[in-house]
Amino acid sequence: MSKPKILVARAIFPEVISRLEQHFEVEANQSDAIWSKAELAEKLKDKDGAFTTGGDRIDAEVLAACPRLKICANMAVGYNNFDIDAMTAAGVLATNAPDVLTETTADFGFALLMATARRVTESEHFLRAGKWGKWSYDMFAGSDIHGSTLGILGMGRIGQGIAKRGAHGFGMKVIYHNRSRLDVTLEAECKASYVSKEDLLRTADHVVLVLPYSPASHHTIGAAELAMMKPTATLVNIARGGIVDDAALAQALRDKTIAAAGLDVFEGEPKVDPDLLTVPNVVMTPHIASATVPTRLAMANLAADNLISFFKDKKPLTPLNPAVLGG
């Protein structure tokens, strides 16, 4: 019996390709070419499954060209590249890669928070430009992490990880807002108190965004929300581009409406709002919050496991639209 055909849409670990080749006829993209939507659809039209990353858009237009496609396994916890309704209507299973990146991403969120609060990027640029000639009492004086108030928007696993690091490691007062309140046991573990979004923005010294992207969360932070924040506050986004209005944020940073921002994600990435590139009080990284070798390998293996399990016994590990599996 012939093996199912799958497409691996971006370059991944060679050892994961080797695993997949034991089960599938694999077309891999180890040259890491960036395909247009039409090119992706052309590659997928004779495939039974796909290994995708967050930049590979699967929507009704692509699905219409790919009648054999049965599953797309995302090597990411986020899945805003998937039109889940269209995939469900087409009978195509979607899976993601949650949990395996929680602690690594929480680590990075805290690293970005600290770099932002302590003006690490600004001061490094200053030093590299040869401008450091003397000590001064206010040279790159930032804000404290320890003992400050940490506000978290989005209190899933990663948000909880950041809360625990702040509360237990740095003695921070943690407040959070979420679509639904955590149970009291989880709140106690995180030493976190539930507040309204408005109270969080007005109260927090440091705001960290960890909520999933959806049309409802688009521009959760815009000019009005930034104006609510303290002028000494920082904003960190490790969630998804589009949750922050990047143009409004650039203006707020220029006007010192808030003190600083740390960004790992951007609207329209890999493009970045050019105004963000001209303000000094922002730390920017290219969507690398999960980028350690062990974590990225675990993400790739989970996507592979979903493909293997689906074609073996229709029991994928992390389905997003399990209705397509039937009873």
pLDDT in tens, 291-303: 999 999 999 999 9
CA nearest 50: which of 18, 20, 84? 20
**Residue 240 annotated in active site:** yes
214 confidence band (pLDDT: 50, 70, 90): confident
Q: Give me the catalytic one of 27, 42, 103, 269.
A: 269
Task: Choose among 190, 223, 225, 189: nearest CA to 207.
Answer: 225
Percent of the chain exceeding pLDDT 70 equals: 100
Q: Is the pLDDT of residue 326 over 90?
A: no
Q: Is the peptide bond before 319 cis (omega within 30 degrees of 0)?
A: no
pLDDT at 327: 62
**Active-site residue (options: 10, 118, 240, 296):** 240
Domain boundaries, the chain: 5-100+293-325, 102-284
287 catalytic? Reply is yes
Q: Which one of 119, 206, 287, 296 is the catalytic residue?
A: 287
Q: How confident is the model at residue 231 (pLDDT cuts 50, 70, 90)?
A: very high
Domain boundaries 5-100+293-325, CATH class: alpha beta
Sign of the CA dihedral 296, 187, 238, 285?
negative
pLDDT at 41: 96
pTM of the entire predicted model? 0.93
Residue 96 binned pLDDT confidence (cut-offs 50, 70, 90)? very high
Spell out the alpha helix ranges (H) of the chain. Answer: 14-21, 37-44, 60-64, 84-89, 102-117, 120-128, 157-164, 170, 184-190, 197-203, 223-228, 246-254, 293-313
pLDDT of 125 above 90: yes
* Cα gap 139→278, rounded to integer Å: 20
8, pLDDT greater than 80: yes
Radius of gyration of the chain (CA): 22
| Start-to-end Cα distance in the chain | 26
| CATH no. of 102-284 | 3.40.50.720
Contact 92, 324 (CB under 8 A): yes
Beta bridge partners of 234: 206, 260
Integer Cα distance of 133 and 209 in angstroms: 37
- Please give the mean pLDDT across all residues of the chain: 97
Same fold, 5-100+293-325 and 102-284: yes
> Torsion-angle region of residue 99: left (phi > 0), alpha (psi -120 to 50) or beta?
left
30-87 pLDDT, tens per residue? Answer: 999 999 999 999 999 999 999 999 889 999 999 999 999 999 999 999 898 999 999 9
What single DSSP character describes residue 23? T
In contact, 263 and 279? CB cutoff 8 Å = no
Q: Is 177 a catalytic residue?
A: no
> Between β-strands 25-28 and 5-8, what pairing exists: parallel, antiparallel or unpaired?
parallel
Are 22 and 307 in contact by the 8 Å Cβ rule? The answer is: no
